[in-house]
Amino acid sequence: MEDLTPRKEDLEPIEIASRDEISALQLARMKQSLAHAYENVPHYRASFDAAGVHPDDLQSLEDLAKFPFTVKGDLRANYPFGMFAVPREQVLRVHASSGTTGQPTVVGYTRDDLDMWAGVVARCLRASGLRPGDVLHNAYGYGLFTGGLGVHGGAEKLGLTTVPISGGMTQRQVRLIEDFGATGMTVTPSYALSIIDEYAAQGRDPRQSPLKVGIFGAEPWTNAMRLEIEEAFDMHAVDIYGLSEVIGPGVANECVETKDGLHIWEDHFYPEIIDPQTGEVLPDGEMGELVFTSLTKQAFPIIRYRTRDLTRLLPGTARSMRRMEKVTGRSDDMIILRGVNVFPTQIEEQLMTVASLAPHFQLELNRVGHKDEMRVKVETLPDTVELGDMAGKELAAKVKQVVGISVKVDVDAPGGVARSQGKAVRIVDNRPKE
Ligand code: DLL
């Protein structure tokens, strides 16, 4: 694989500033952001007042712990525009969650917000090894989802030839990567697997594609999956993280030269890790729930937002800004099976070690009598169909040994597992609702 390390002189000075400089900037911006939220969003005024805190109480970064958390329910309660801190006329763009699990949550951006967003996404793409003149195949969905348009703005800002293909029509994805000479690809890791399948279906070798790097996010994926994708395409695979409530894609990104976790762009998004049970702030290095405070957003400032994503904070390496470890999963996706906590990524890790199984999977939860059972739906590769039974047993044994739970493995023929065109649905829960 080609060395794609960006040149030092192409980085923004703040990316390699000293920790003291970064902290000083954070403190100044945090004061402004708290005041902006308090003065302009009734929800924040009420929640700060109820907690007996005022923006003036923030004298150090640690003082942030005195302020109340914000949760998804707060956004729903203020649907659609109640969390906006500027008059609606100054909001140039809204995005929203799909609302499949309840009322959609709406976020908004002023012109300055869109500029800042493009700036942090450009930083991500540069950290991934792309440079002006590269061709980016952007297969994140365009629309209310922040993935497509969010990456798009940053790609244009960096000076990439941007192909706004969006998700779906997988045959055409392969054709345009090849015809347009895409050197970078932005897509969910699960959809990247569908694109790899389509290469095979067309009798093409993805290793011969023009791609040099893929930038994968919007859902959890493992280092084992990274190796699988890097091998399939003979390209780098790096992780991009973000969430609509904080901005969209572009909150954090891995550096292609280290691939050791995601540098958080801390000059705009201040991270904390808390104990999800007690809400107490944990020291760097400890695993817990990631919480973000926006430092520069105008339309939709967000204070101590509980992401429900589980990870830990680590010191900077390729950049001075701190890293977050690859997200293991969301607390919402944690399955408790007969007392053992399991994340889909733990099953993914084991699946990747079974050579005759394809990397696609889905977990099905059923209630059998009084017990819960988990079925792991997988499929063989086209040339390993006759090894299916053995492979299923191998996977069940590995899950038992490493994850510590007994599962049933259903091995299907190639194409048997539902494919994703965006975020994969990993868990199908058939258990009766309590
Ligand atoms: O998924 C934004 C995004 C688009 C990020 C494209 C990266 C690339 P939401 O739809 O609001 O926004 O979903 C946010 O997705 O809280 C995580 O649970 C999950 N997520 C996002 N990136 C990653 C990642 C976009 N790299 C939610 N690893 C977040 C693991 C991720 N989970």
Domain containing residue 357: CATH number: 3.30.300.30
Domain presence at residue 170: yes
pLDDT at 92 over 80: yes
pLDDT at 251 over 80: yes
244 pocket-lining for ligand 1 (C-beta < 6 Å): yes
Q: What is the DSSP letter of 402?
A: I
* 392 vs 176: CA distance, rounded Å: 36
Same structural domain, 279 and 178: yes
288 pocket-lining for ligand 1 (C-beta < 6 Å): no
Residue 232 and residue 358 in contact, taking contact as beta carbons nearer than 8 Å: no
Same structural domain, 352 and 310: no
One-character DSSP codes across 355-397: TTB-S--EEEEEEETTEEEEEEEEEB-TT-GGGHHHHHHHHHH
Per-residue pLDDT tens digits for 146-192: 999 999 999 999 999 999 999 999 999 999 999 999 999 999 999 99
Show the tokens assigned to 230: 């890097």
* 270 vs 264: CA distance, rounded Å: 8
Q: Which of 331, 355, 376 is the last residue of a domain?
A: 331
Q: Which of 331, 357, 382 is the last residue of a domain?
A: 331
Domain presence at residue 360: yes
Determine the atom of ligand 1 nearest the C-alpha atom of 245: 11
Residues paired with 6 in a beta bridge? none
Determine the atom of ligand 1 nearest the C-alpha atom of 262: 26
Same structural domain, 275 and 400: no
pLDDT at 100 over 90: no
**Average of per-residue pLDDT values in the chain:** 96
Same structural domain, 64 and 176: yes
- The HSE-up count of residue 296 (CA atoms within 13 Å, CB side) is 18
pLDDT band at 98 (very low <50, low <70, confident <90, very high): confident
Same structural domain, 324 and 425: no
Same structural domain, 140 and 104: yes
Cβ neighbours of residue 193 under 8 Å, at least 6 residues apart? 229, 359, 360, 419
Same structural domain, 163 and 243: yes
Same structural domain, 293 and 369: no
Cβ neighbours of residue 344 under 8 Å, at least 6 residues apart? 220, 329, 333, 335, 361, 363, 426, 427
Pocket test for ligand 1, best of 222, 327, 420, 425 (most atoms within 8 A of CB): 327
Residue 316 and residue 254 in contact, taking contact as beta carbons nearer than 8 Å: no
Determine the atom of ligand 1 nearest the C-alpha atom of 307: 16
pLDDT band at 103 (very low <50, low <70, confident <90, very high): confident
Q: Which of 289, 305, 331 is the last residue of a domain?
A: 331
pLDDT band at 65 (very low <50, low <70, confident <90, very high): very high
pLDDT of residue 261: 98
3-class DSSP assignment, residue 75: helix
How many residues make up the chain in this entry? 434
Cα 164–chain centre separation: 20
Average pLDDT over residues 193-208: 96
Same structural domain, 304 and 225: yes
Tell which wins on pLDDT, 331 or 59.
59
Q: What's the domain count of the chain? A: 2
Domain presence at residue 71: yes
Show the tokens assigned to 109: 């951006």
Average pLDDT over residues 380-387: 95
Same structural domain, 161 and 248: yes
Taking the whole predicted model, whether its pTM rises above 0.85 is answered as yes
pLDDT at 434 over 80: no
Q: Which of 157, 34, 152 is nearest to 93 (CA)?
A: 152
Domain presence at residue 57: yes
148 pocket-lining for ligand 1 (C-beta < 6 Å): no
Per-residue pLDDT tens digits for 353-382: 999 999 999 999 999 998 999 999 999 999
Q: Which of 306, 303, 307, 308 is nearest to 47 (CA)?
A: 303
CA–centroid distance, residue 344 to ligand 1 (Å): 15
147 pocket-lining for ligand 1 (C-beta < 6 Å): yes
Domain presence at residue 434: no
Domain presence at residue 392: yes
Domain presence at residue 135: yes
Could you tell me the residue range of the domain that residue 377 belongs to?
335-429
Same structural domain, 172 and 242: yes
* 393 vs 388: CA distance, rounded Å: 9
Average pLDDT over residues 291-295: 98
pLDDT at 17 over 90: yes
CATH of the domain at 61: 3.40.50.12780
Q: What is the DSSP letter of 132?
A: T
Same structural domain, 37 and 94: yes
% of the chain surpassing 90 pLDDT:
95
> What are the DSSP E strand ranges found in 278-328?
288-294, 305-311, 313-314, 323-324
Which residue minimizes the CA distance to atom 12 of ligand 1? 243
Domain presence at residue 201: yes
248 pocket-lining for ligand 1 (C-beta < 6 Å): yes
